[in-house]
Structure 1
């Protein structure tokens, strides 16, 4: 069987690194992975994790999704410029009250998360259309479906990604192409840690007292508990993605976290859109004890499911 060429962006850490390693270590050796990153000096962690796959089923290349020339150079370095599966993962986060964020910061998030995908497709899509073969996989987010407090700009970038892909999917069908949006909830990676650390440094001098207090004593205060209760590992996302790219008829949308799904379905339960906003408001500001109790309950479910999975694996191995 001929190996499929997989091009992945944003592989220096987190989900991108886990994706590159997991797909390159596919037991059936069905893929040749080109793991890319903006700065090759940050490839140490990937090199170590790749192990024996490096130079065999995995190669590391430079690619900056904000630079059209960089994308073109990378694609032209591939055999016959062929990309069978594009996994668009590179991205950046931003949290905080909008009055405390610069326009430059907000534009950078949109340029990376949304226009980065657009630049990639402008380079890769024509050849996929010509061959009438290809799979475009986008690491999106549940925040591409439902906005979250103080994630206004990040959610906007993911909403843009989702709308773009939803529109493109209709055209893609005409060329026998697949598009899949992978939608994780919270994921425990350096990406999230960096976003949190930057959020802690936010200059709140331009915010009113209520907004400043909301960001510090509600949002940041509950950050760790939310991630401990709902968070997945980068390796979990990689397993879900591998499953999607090996399906004969992959879905357009795939949420990786069943614990988070009830929250996103609130949006579809009310055509007016008021229900999820009202419920989240009451959970956060009127029923904070219920909110914290719910997180603790979800944390227990998460622990039990992981323990069960671990024991199950142990029995199979034996």
Structure 2
């Protein structure tokens, strides 16, 4: 494992979803190119990961406690790595939030930013000085297509992803001087039981502070459409993990990497019109005028793409 060909990979948020899938995929790499440190806040949630890792657990994959919202936890985790040597940092830990902005408290918003923005920055600040000294390293941030183009009712989540994209856009320029790569991964919907369950639970929740008309559009138009979109065009954590692995193994990875090519036209709307009117009007009509038929639109999108496009990736250029 100490071989010069083996890269030390530190991944945050590995108890489920993309983090779990990616940690296992890298640990089981046929060429044994990676030594993976899979982290999570609570090691009581390790069972799924340990089971999926199988024989790799304890060999090419080890576990560590890490809370990206805690300075001491971050420092302790990196200090416990031999020589503090991290070749690839994968910032995957994140939390989602959806709903009318009036019904989300400032405290809830701050919690999203604490993980999705400051958690990522905290990790980067901890490993970056050592990478600079070695003039080598790769920092990967799991962002979202919502960090490029937002949609209704994702105001706070999108704001957190826009923030980290802006941070990384500036940092990438500085890191080039030190031969350090920085890559943003921008998935669309991720198809997991947890995501679907979360959306269904949100539908049952009250929306205190929001007017009845907004609540109606959110619960009766947006949420059913969101579930249909998840089921029709969502990617699995494994599909996204394959894309991340490909970015890791490319000698000159792109800065921005959309994982779902079905979202390329939506991102293109933003780049096509500097006034922003095109994308704002498109999403308005899609939600408020086409809401009842959006389900069929999504099915048509999938059919017209022959079902295979979502497995290919593009960068918005």
Same-fold call, TM cutoff 0.5: yes
Matched, 1:35 2:38: yes
CA shift digits 1:249-307 (9 cap, x unpaired): 1110110001111111100000101101101111222234553332111333577439x
CA shift digits 1:153-190 (9 cap, x unpaired): 00000000100000000100010000000000001125
Aligned position for 1:168: 171
Q: Within 2, Cα distance between the matches of 1:193 and 1:240?
A: 22
1:240-255, aligned counterparts within 5 Å? Answer: 240-255=243-258
Aligned position for 2:230: 227
Q: Does 3-12 or 187-196 show the bigger shift?
A: 187-196
Q: Within 2, Cα distance between the matches of 1:65 and 1:131?
A: 24
Aligned position for 1:76: 79
SS at match of 2:126: helix
Checking the alignment, whether the CA contact within 8 Å between 2:9 and 2:37 is kept in structure 1 is: yes
Decide whether aligned partners of structure 1 residues 270 and 300 sit closer, same or farther in structure 2, where only a CA change above 3 A counts: same
1:229-308, aligned counterparts within 5 Å? Answer: 229-288=232-291, 291-300=294-303, 304-305=307-308
Aligned position for 1:200: 203
Structure 2, unaligned stretches of length 5 or more?
313-317
Decide whether aligned partners of structure 1 residues 186 and 152 sit closer, same or farther in structure 2, where only a CA change above 3 A counts: same
Aligned position for 1:314: none
Checking the alignment, whether the CA contact within 8 Å between 2:69 and 2:118 is kept in structure 1 is: yes
Checking the alignment, whether the CA contact within 8 Å between 1:14 and 1:190 is kept in structure 2 is: no
Structure 1, unaligned stretches of length 5 or more?
310-318
Q: Within 2, Cα distance between the matches of 1:302 and 1:196?
A: 26
Matched, 1:146 2:155: no
User: Offset of 1:202 from its aligned partner?
Assistant: 2.9
The alignment's TM-score, normalised by the length of structure 2, stands at 0.93
Decide whether aligned partners of structure 1 residues 4 and 196 sit closer, same or farther in structure 2, where only a CA change above 3 A counts: same
Structure 1 runs of 4+ off > 6 angstroms? Answer: none
Count the aligned residue pairs: 309
CA shift digits 1:226-251 (9 cap, x unpaired): 11121000000100000000111111
Checking the alignment, whether the CA contact within 8 Å between 2:102 and 2:208 is kept in structure 1 is: no
Aligned position for 2:315: none
Checking the alignment, whether the CA contact within 8 Å between 1:89 and 1:138 is kept in structure 2 is: yes
CA shift digits 1:14-39 (9 cap, x unpaired): 00000101111111111100000010
* Cα RMSD after superposing both structures: 1.9
Aligned position for 1:53: 56
Matched, 1:98 2:101: yes
User: Offset of 1:148 from its aligned partner?
Assistant: 1.3
SS at match of 2:261: coil
Decide whether aligned partners of structure 1 residues 27 and 165 sit closer, same or farther in structure 2, where only a CA change above 3 A counts: same
Q: Within 2, Cα distance between the matches of 1:157 and 1:139?
A: 12
Q: Within 2, Cα distance between the matches of 1:250 and 1:104?
A: 37
Q: Within 2, Cα distance between the matches of 1:9 and 1:194?
A: 23
Aligned position for 1:312: none
